[in-house]
A and B are shown apart, each in its own frame.
Chain A
Amino acid sequence: MRPVYIVGVGIHKFGRFEDKPYTQMGLEAASMALADANMPWRDVQQAYCGRMYLPATTGLRVLGQLGRTGISIIDVEAACASGGAALAQACMAIGSGAKDTAMVLGVEKMPRGFMDPRQLYEDWQIATGLSQNPIPWAIRARRHMYEHGTTVEQIARISVKNHKNSVHNPYAMYQKEFSLEQVLNSPLVNDPINLLSICAPNEGAAAIVLCSGDVAHKYSDAPIEVAGCSHKVALYTHFSVPLYTQSAKVTNPHVTQLTAAEVYAQAGIGPEDVDVMEVQDTDAFCELEAYEHIGLCPIGEGGRLVDDGDTQIGGRIPVNTSGGLISKGEPVGASHVGQIFELVSQLRGRAGARQVEGAKVGLAHVIGAGGNCAITVLKR
């Protein structure tokens, strides 16, 4: 596979925009990415759109507004990893030599509150009350506390960190600091996970313009290399939405571990080489678990990493400098593409008060329903 480069990124703020259609949000993100790449729409040879809750041909409905150029525009759905799966497709299209340019769009406009359970669960799971999305994370959090002594304070500190980072991110939904006490005293949703440690489904869009090394110089003096990108689905029996059983005998590696290993090999790096990360924080424990599975620390020591402040801005490996999904909200199809927007800002040295000094390598991670996981590594 030949190298693939990012030459432009765009974003529409994540939040709630009652009267604004997704076609407009997506158009703004795509137009911003094309302008950033200094690329006319007619130069784009292939497009993928990550989305989960929007109708058929969402990508075409958004991008067709730029003009009917006749290119292939494909919607990609892989739950919370939809945007990452779309990016993996674009990297294969360019990396294989089939295309020289591509756009990845992520866009979502989700209903308020819990996601419609019929999207993910069988009727009997809904009838019996086993259909709340945080249940598998909460159960894994409780077990982690039991096995490793992880505390609710350590988990809550991740939420405090992410909300604090978001104050400086104009594209985040909340941009509001919360104290440890406020997080710990917020209502429980699924113990030990409480309201201020969980992400809200919402709305937003983001876009990436990619190209091969052959044409990158036409659009950018400082392209960012996609050094690795992979989408995988969990092996038996990683316990996640909507599973209702788990093996007590078979212990396959976690899907984040498997995806990270593949992407590290593609990029020729290890976790110690990464300067800044955006990881899935559906809830604060989800981020703690990701520290371990991505390899920032051994299994069971995620809580200690929090205590040491390693993942704060200024720490050894800052995580979720954007504020994470906890403060941005999670427009499912757009979440990974939004992470890429943050990493490109960091690698270009344009992240303002959130800047990680001298950041050269960034990693973005998403995981969700069905054990869908995607990881991307960027290098400047």
Chain B
Amino acid sequence: MMNITQAQFATVRDDFFSSREGPLADIALAGTVCGECGEVSLGSVPACPNCQSTALTPTTLSREGELYSYTIVRNRPPGDYKGGDKAGEGPFVPFPVGLVELPEGIRVLSVLDCPLDAPQVGMPMQLDIYELYRDETGQPVLSYRFRPVDEEAR
């Protein structure tokens, strides 16, 4: 879906993304930094979850991090899952998920775009903004995932 370059996109959660306009490679994860304790949160938050301060500033998160830990989703997730096989068409494809630790000091739970046997604790990962599905109007809906920096591990 990397050929999408012009359109405005919908996203799975608008406050997670630095922009809703292409190209996708220019979009990063958005966050909030606390002016008192320095803790960084993904997306926008009404108060710092660590120190309760409301002195908050928007920030953009690094595109690269390190895999802290991971697991594999072996069965179709419950409810209205939109990934992989486009919600019910065709067989479910198992996928890895993991916590990716970013230099800002937070770990983000993410789908991992790599083979099931590829994840290793500590491996360098990079952000990938991708089209998760199209909504009923045909508009692409973006989400985030991480994949190994090392192309041989993809």
B75-98: contact bitstring with A at CB < 8 Å (1 yes, 0 no)?
Answer: 101111111100000000001011
**Contact of A189 with B78 in the complex, beta carbons under 8 Å:** no
Nearest Cβ in chain A — how far from B111, in angstroms? 6
Interface centre among A126, A140, A193 (most CB of B within 10 A): A126
B36-66: contact bitstring with A at CB < 8 Å (1 yes, 0 no)?
Answer: 0001011000000110000000000000000
Given known A117-B77, A244-B42, A248-B107, contact A129–B71 (CB-CB < 8 A): no
Residue on B with the closest CB to A247?
B106
Residue on A with the closest CB to B101?
A248
**Contact of B42 with A245 in the complex, beta carbons under 8 Å:** yes
**Contact of B121 with A129 in the complex, beta carbons under 8 Å:** no
Cα–Cα distance between A255 and B77 once the two chains are bound (Å)? 27
Cα–Cα distance between A117 and B75 once the two chains are bound (Å)? 14
Classify chain A: how many residues form its interface, as a range.
Answer: 35 or more
Cα–Cα distance between A121 and B49 once the two chains are bound (Å)? 18
Q: Provide the residues of chain A in CB contact with B132, threshold 8 Å.
A: 127-128
Residue on A with the closest CB to B42?
A245
How many A-B residue pairs lie within 8 Å, measured between CB atoms?
130
Instruction: Identify B41's interface contact among A113, A130, A135, A245, CB under 8 A.
Output: A245
**Contact of A189 with B75 in the complex, beta carbons under 8 Å:** yes
Residue on B with the closest CB to A115?
B78
In the complex, whether B105 has a CB less than 8 A from a CB of chain A is yes
In the complex, whether B70 has a CB less than 8 A from a CB of chain A is yes
B8-43: contact bitstring with A at CB < 8 Å (1 yes, 0 no)?
Answer: 000011000000000000000000000000010110
Which residues of chain A (111-134) have a CB below 8 Å from chain B? 113-118, 121-124, 126-132, 134
Q: Provide the residues of chain B in CB contact with A189, threshold 8 Å.
A: 74-75
Which residues of chain A (221-261) have a CB below 8 Å from chain B? 236-237, 239, 243-250
Q: Provide the residues of chain A in CB contact with B149, threshold 8 Å.
A: none
Interface of B is mostly: strand
Instruction: Identify B12's interface contact among A124, A139, A243, CB under 8 A.
Output: A124
Nearest Cβ in chain A — how far from B40, in angstroms? 9
Nearest Cβ in chain A — how far from B16, in angstroms? 8
**Contact of A237 with B49 in the complex, beta carbons under 8 Å:** yes
**Contact of B79 with A116 in the complex, beta carbons under 8 Å:** yes
Given known A124-B13, A128-B132, contact A139–B70 (CB-CB < 8 A): yes
Q: Provide the residues of chain A in CB contact with B111, threshold 8 Å.
A: 128-130
Residue on B with the closest CB to A127?
B82
Interface centre among A115, A124, A243 (most CB of B within 10 A): A124
Residues of chain A at the chain B interface (Cβ within 8 Å):
113-118, 121-124, 126-132, 134-135, 138-143, 146, 187-193, 236-237, 239, 243-250
A sample of 26 inter-chain contacts (CB < 8 A) reads A116-B79, A127-B12, A127-B81, A127-B83, A127-B133, A128-B12, A129-B84, A130-B110, A131-B81, A135-B71, A139-B98, A139-B99, A140-B69, A142-B121, A190-B72, A191-B74, A236-B49, A239-B99, A245-B41, A245-B108, A246-B107, A247-B39, A247-B107, A248-B101, A248-B102, A248-B106
